[in-house]
Structure 1
Amino acid sequence: MSTERTARPFGRALCAMVTPFDAAGGLDLDAARKLAAHLVAEGCDGLVLNGTTGESPTTTDAEKAALIRAVREAVGPGPKVLAGVGTPDTLHSVELARQAEEAGADGLLLVAPYYSRPPQAAVEAHFLRVADATGLPVMLYDIPGRTGTRIEPETLIRLAAHPRIVAVKDCAYDMLGSTKVMARTSLAYYSGCEELNLPLYAVGGSGYVSTVANVAPRAMRAILDGFDAGDTAEAARLNALTAPLVELAMASGLPGTVTMKALLGLPVREPLQPADRDAVDGLRAAYEELVQAYR
């Protein structure tokens, strides 16, 4: 049984980076390089590309590889670059994993197969097949609200025996289940839900993969810094400062991709649609309030 805080194989503060597109809808690699370099300069230990926030369902395999190469070039060898490779198709996920490794990724983000809702034995076999395909460490992504399939705690406990399955991005909203897995394995747990970043960290989590970090990387990291400094009251205060923006960005009925790109002034790809004026105004007001709090 593990009784200490788990390792941080990908650092603490990771951003689920948006994928910039130009006005014509094409991949904007120059904008991606600039955003990636900015996020690292502002305190991100790593970047997660081609995930939900990165609009992976609407980018091609070639675009995914090009984005990894561009970001790797922009940030250098220090920060961790993870690539989302999860699809409903095991063989396609294997291909994407190998492509990501060749493109320079440091790790893989692997979501449960979605839509077909396979049973746990099939989910486990899918993960093992992809983990065996490369030499890269794997962060499993448990987000049943999107996939329709939970990665059950007992499944995670079994998968932890694989030498390259090292972490979980946790969006299951099951603190008891997460605590159970952390207690029985060495898996590094990263919150994928902004409102649980601090609570999960407090019970032994390793950090977060944050969507809101696209626009507020220092504010999100400061919460963990306060906790690590032993000042839990300050960590709670800083967490409260981010709450209005987090609520509008992640719980307003709009996808986080849409809200982040509204603040960054970037277009989305269909079927996503840009935020309307009222939503943009509310987001900007909450963002400016957070910025002022840090001045």
Structure 2
Amino acid sequence: MIKGSIVAIVTPMTPAGEVDFDALAALVEWHVAEGTDAIVAVGTTGESATLSVDEHIAVVRKVVEVVAKRVPVLAGTGANSTAEAIELTRLAKDAGADAALIVTPYYNKPPQEGLYRHFKAIAEAVAMPIVMYNVPGRTGCDMLPATVARLAQLPNIVGIKEAKGELSRVRELLALGLPKDFALYTGDDATARESMLLGFHGDISVTANVAPKLMHEMCVAAIAGDAATAGMIDSRLTLLHKNLFLDPNPIPAKWALEAMGRIRGGIRLPLVPMNPDHVNLVRDSLRAAGAL
């Protein structure tokens, strides 16, 4: 089981909007050096919605190549079409990903039985570990704990990223009596510390993009039940947890990484550069975390 700080890494782009593979490689090396415990390539934060299939798999392949087995690599392979999700998952496995992170289908709002059959079909079609991803604020679809419990019985469905952002949902999942090797990850940085102190195994994080070392150290402390240390570290990250979402993710994270000199300012429509009114707030957040 993967534990700790799992960065949902941005996909660096040139000002013209082309994928910047050199910057991506440098980011991956930085994360490994800073202690990031695993990397998600081409998740929501990686702008998966606007990458072509060829670009999507090329990014996964590049991350796998640069990581060189030093940390696990998860590939985002979700889609609102089950057949498309199966194909992306197959391609990610062929590219060398260690696991797939698969978001619930978006826009078409499947019922719980549809969610169950969707993930079951993918799990049966592709023999690789699958981490489900629930983020109703983006998808318009909420996978309920009872459905998670059903899917957790399938052998290669190994975990869930729960990003509803409510500790009540964290407690519901912990109370299900899921298999001991079923991983529970939060996808909400603002409640990550509390989630791990309650019993979650890690955080698939946006904040880790700009403060990887602190996020790793906070996760280690929280998973170990060291509330005092986790709280002390998290206090330096609180503004980032909030202000990296002043504009839709990953707009502020990409601005921050550009300000840190780690990427160029490319982002794809319909996303646009960060609102100028938010610049000082995000800059102050970086300084509070020691990232600037």
> 1:97·1:133 contact (CA, 8 Å) conserved in 2?
no
Match of 2:14 among 10, 22, 41: 22
CA offsets 1:216-272 (integer angstroms, 9 cap, x no match): 01111221233356532221121122111221112x2x1220001001123210000
The aligned runs of 1:1-295 (5 Å cut-off) are 9-183=1-175, 184-186=177-179, 187-228=182-223, 231-250=226-245, 252=246, 254-265=247-258, 266-291=265-290
Q: Secondary structure at the match of 2:131?
A: strand
CA offsets 1:13-48 (integer angstroms, 9 cap, x no match): 100000011122111111111111111111111111
> 1:182·1:188 contact (CA, 8 Å) conserved in 2?
no
Q: Distance in 2 between matches of 1:156 and 1:229?
A: 25
Q: Secondary structure at the match of 1:291?
A: coil
Letter in 1 for 2:212: P
Letter in 2 for 1:270: L
> 2:103·2:135 contact (CA, 8 Å) conserved in 1?
yes
| TM-score between the two structures when normalised by the length of structure 2 | 0.93
Q: Secondary structure at the match of 1:100?
A: helix
> 1:15·1:48 contact (CA, 8 Å) conserved in 2?
yes
Are residues 180 and 277 of structure 1, via their aligned partners in 2, closer, same or farther at CA, if it must alter by over 3 Å?
closer
Letter in 2 for 1:92: E
Letter in 2 for 1:205: F
Task: Report how many residues are paired.
Answer: 283
Unaligned runs of 5+ residues in structure 2 are 259-264
Where does structure 1 differ by over 2 angstroms across 4 or more consecutive aligned residues?
173-183, 224-231
Unaligned runs of 5+ residues in structure 1 are 1-8
Letter in 1 for 2:139: T
Q: Distance in 2 between matches of 1:281 and 1:34?
A: 26
Q: Distance in 2 between matches of 1:10 and 1:230?
A: 17
> 2:15·2:267 contact (CA, 8 Å) conserved in 1?
no
* Percent of residue pairs bearing the same amino acid type: 35
| TM-score between the two structures when normalised by the length of structure 1 | 0.92
